[in-house]
């Protein structure tokens, strides 16, 4: 079979591999809709997960089951499924502790294009199919559903980590596709004032459509100053970080009210430390909590998220700015994600 792979750090290309084998609990799936992720860019061009050779990329796929193992009960060949980016081992001790995304070690629930071949292939393997596949609801388009694999659960997890409550004033830092889903999630959770930090025009427009009440452009001056002005010097109850770098935490702590929480889902690629500003952190006593996490996987959660699309409570189609038809366009779609042209939010490739 053909797959689009990381050949080594900084190098990608088409390769040929054997179709993966299906274990008794597993499934083999062929993709219907695929999307590249900013994380694929970190993986290849920033060496985020270290050296990988001829590893097929991709972790966002909706597909059709072609084979199931003898112990799989709920899925069969022909079923249309959403495949979460994170596919944990549900019997692991980490999963029993409530952190399935770290099953087998920190971040190790992220297997696709990390520890095993990803989904940018004619066929791919899913471990523990009954627990890790989710049904694609009737009437939900595969291209819209592919945003459920990673963008929606990651953005929403930032909102959960920040523990957004009704009426909270919330700031979402970064409004790429992940941050936009954090804006949508905070809105669903009842945020009142919802400040969104970004600069690209199309993302700003989408943030407004997903519920942002105020836009802060980080390229037009210090965001702490801008946000303190907007909130009459009070700051915000909750912050979700979905963009920026290690220095963003200092800004997030500074804009947070005492008792506030920061939920980070941004990948930190540079810098040895995340610095917490002493005075703004209440000289150690400000009750300002910082939480960071990888998105949770699992069928139950994914089917609940899919029901938001089914009922029209969430519309992911606004994220899809670039549509491609045909497997051969994967490379083009991935490179778009690397170059991030002004009008890009997310590309989708229909097979």
Of ligand NDP, Zn ion, none, which one sits near residue 206, judging by CB under 5 to 8 A according to partner kind?
Answer: none
Strand, helix or coil for residue 234: coil
DSSP-based three-state secondary structure for 302: helix
Q: Which is nearer to Zn ion, 3 or 58 (CB)?
A: 58
Alpha carbons 293 and 222: distance in angstroms, whole number: 26
Q: What single string gives the DSSP state of each residue in 190-219?
A: T-SSEEEEE--HHHHHHHHHTT-SEEEEGG
Cα four-point dihedral sign 265, 266, 271, 274:
negative
Decide if residue 175 touches ligand NDP (CB under 6 A): yes
Q: Is 295 in the site for ligand NDP (CB under 6 A)?
A: yes
SS3 call for 33: strand
- 350/152 Cα distance (integer angstroms): 19
Residue located via tokens 């399935």:
100
Of the residues 31, 88, 177, 260, which one makes contact with ligand NDP according to CB under 6 A: 177
- 63 sits near ligand NDP (criterion: CB under 6 A): no
Number of residues that bind ligand NDP (CB under 6 A): 28
Q: Which residues bind Zn ion (CB under 5 A)?
A: 37, 39, 150
Task: Kindly report the number of other CB atoms within 10 A of residue 230's CB atom.
Answer: 20
Of 180, 165, 246, nearest to 211 by C-alpha is 180
Tell me whether residue 28 or residue 290 sits nearer to ligand NDP (CB atom): 290
CA distance 350 to 320: 12
Among 169, 231, 248, 316, binds ligand NDP (CB under 6 A): 248
User: Which one of the spans 68-76, 140-148, 198-206, 313-321 is the region binding ligand NDP (CB under 6 A)?
Assistant: 198-206
The torsion of the CA quartet 120, 121, 122, 124, rounded to 10 degrees, works out to -100
| Interaction of residue 22 with ligand NDP, rule CB under 6 A | no
Show the binding pattern over residues 178-197: x = contacts ligand NDP (CB under 6 A), - = does not.
Answer: xx-----------------x
Shortest Cβ 151–Zn ion spacing (Å): 8
45 belongs to the binding site for ligand NDP (CB under 6 A): no
Enumerate the β-bridge partners of residue 348.
323
Q: Which stretch binds ligand NDP (CB under 6 A): 14-22, 121-129, 264-272, 276-284?
A: 264-272
Name the site residues for ligand NDP (rule: CB under 6 A). Answer: 37-39, 42, 150, 154, 173-179, 197-200, 203, 218, 242-244, 248, 265-267, 294-295
């Amino acid at each position: 079979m053909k797959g689009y792979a990381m050949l080594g750090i900084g190098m990608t290309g088409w390769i040929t591999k054997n179709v993966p084998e299906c274990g008794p609990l597993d499934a083999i799936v062929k993709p219907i809709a695929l999307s590249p992720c900013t994380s694929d860019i970190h993986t290849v061009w920033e060496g985020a997960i270290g050296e990988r050779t001829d590893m097929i990329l991709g972790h966002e796929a909706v597909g059709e089951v072609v084979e199931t193992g003898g112990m799989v009960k709920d899925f069969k060949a022909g079923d249309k499924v959403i495949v979460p980016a994170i596919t944990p081992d549900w019997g692991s001790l980490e999963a029993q502790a409530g952190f399935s995304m770290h099953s087998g070690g920190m971040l190790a629930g992220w297997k696709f294009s990390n520890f095993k071949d990803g989904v940018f292939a004619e066929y791919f393997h899913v471990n523990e199919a009954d627990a890790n596949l989710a049904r694609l609801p009737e009437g939900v388009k595969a291209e819209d559903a592919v945003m459920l694999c990673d963008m929606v659960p990651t953005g929403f997890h930032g909102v959960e980590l920040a523990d957004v409550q009704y009426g909270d004033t919330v700031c979402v830092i970064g409004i790429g596709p992940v941050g936009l889903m954090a804006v949508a999630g905070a809105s669903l959770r009842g945020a009142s004032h919802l400040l969104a930090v970004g600069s690209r025009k199309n993302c700003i427009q989408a943030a407004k459509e997903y519920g942002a009440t105020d836009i802060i452009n980080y390229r037009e001056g210090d965001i702490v100053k801008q946000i303190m002005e907007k909130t009459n010097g009070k700051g915000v109850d909750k912050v979700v970080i979905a963009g920026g770098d290690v220095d963003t935490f200092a800004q997030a702590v500074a804009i947070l009210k005492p008792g506030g929480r920061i939920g980070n889902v941004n990948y930190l690629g540079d810098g040895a430390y995340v610095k917490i500003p002493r005075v703004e952190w209440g000289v150690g006593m400000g009750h300002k909590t910082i939480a960071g996490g990888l998105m949770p996987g699992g069928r139950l959660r994914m089917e609940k998220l899919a029901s938001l699309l089914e009922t029209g409570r969430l519309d992911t189609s606004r994220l899809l700015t670039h549509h491609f038809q045909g497997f051969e366009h994967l490379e083009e779609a991935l490179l778009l994600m690397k170059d991030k042209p002004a009008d890009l939010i997310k590309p989708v490739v229909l097979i």
